[in-house]
Homo-oligomer: A and B are copies of this chain.
Amino acid sequence: MDDVQATLQFFMEADQLKGVERRNWLADGSRRENTAEHSWHLGIAAMIFAGFATEPVDVGRAVCMALVHDIVEIDAGDTFAYDTSEAADTKRAREVAAADRLFGLLPPEMGNHFRELWDEYEAGDTPEARYVMAVDRVAPMLLNLAEGGSAWREYGITRSRVVDRNGRHVQPALPEVWAVALQRLNEAASAGTVDPA
């Protein structure tokens, strides 16, 4: 029963991810996205993009990785993808401490499973980790484009920074998805809703 209590404590702690605010907006522009709903959207994306992946992936494992990989933000907060400040420098240390505390709440076997998924994502050297990374880069890009690019304008993110940051992950893993995302980005840059620089 101690394992049940520990599992329920983690379950309740996880609820706080719904209160972690990201920089990007929902597609309808009504409010910014939170990390819990973002993680759900990534899980769905990991399912529906699987047929376009260049490497064979274990979809169930990729979906679980997508759901788990941002839980550390409960303690560490969301670090903006394009952040170049001190926050980006300290991100790794803050997130490791968060992983230690949060996954440490779970019974050891399950805590180790979550930690393995998180470590694997962070290391980025398995097909599933590369795939989830690509999904995690293209999903906010698509959302920002659908919404009209507010978050990028707000933080001065240009077309070339979007390409630099995302293309190297998305293009090798999901080339057809990247082609469409890049086309939409170029259209937005032509239309002036994204800074074409």
Residues of chain A whose beta carbon lies under 8 Å from any beta carbon of chain B? 1, 3-5, 7-8, 10-12, 14-19, 26-28, 30, 33-34, 36-37, 39-41, 43-45, 47-49, 51-52, 58-61, 63-64, 67-68, 71, 106-107, 109-110, 113-114, 139, 142-143, 146, 176-177, 179-180
Given contacts A12-B27, A43-B40, contact A7 B48 (CB under 8 A): yes
**A16 proximity list for chain B (CB < 8 A):** 27-28
A and B contact pairs by CB, cutoff 8 A, 23 listed: A1-B180, A4-B52, A4-B180, A5-B180, A7-B49, A7-B177, A8-B142, A11-B48, A12-B142, A12-B146, A15-B28, A15-B143, A16-B27, A16-B28, A17-B37, A18-B26, A18-B41, A43-B43, A44-B67, A47-B67, A47-B68, A60-B64, A63-B64
Q: Give me 6 other A-B pairs in contact (C-beta within 8 A), A4-B180, A8-B142, A40-B43 excluded.
A: A4-B52, A12-B146, A39-B40, A47-B110, A59-B64, A60-B60
Most chain B CB atoms below 10 A, which of A11, A45, A58, A113? A11
Please tell me if the beta carbons of B177 and A8 are within 8 angstroms of each other in the complex: yes
Please tell me if the beta carbons of B33 and A47 are within 8 angstroms of each other in the complex: no
Most chain B CB atoms below 10 A, which of A3, A7, A59? A7
Given contacts A12-B27, A60-B64, contact A177 B19 (CB under 8 A): no
**Interchain CB contact (< 8 A) of A26 among B1, B8, B15:** B15
* CB of A50 to closest CB in B, whole Å: 8
* CB of A31 to closest CB in B, whole Å: 9
Distance in angstroms between the alpha carbons of A45 and B64 in the assembled complex: 11
**Interchain CB contact (< 8 A) of A41 among B1, B14, B26, B60:** B14
* CB of A184 to closest CB in B, whole Å: 9
* CB of A39 to closest CB in B, whole Å: 5
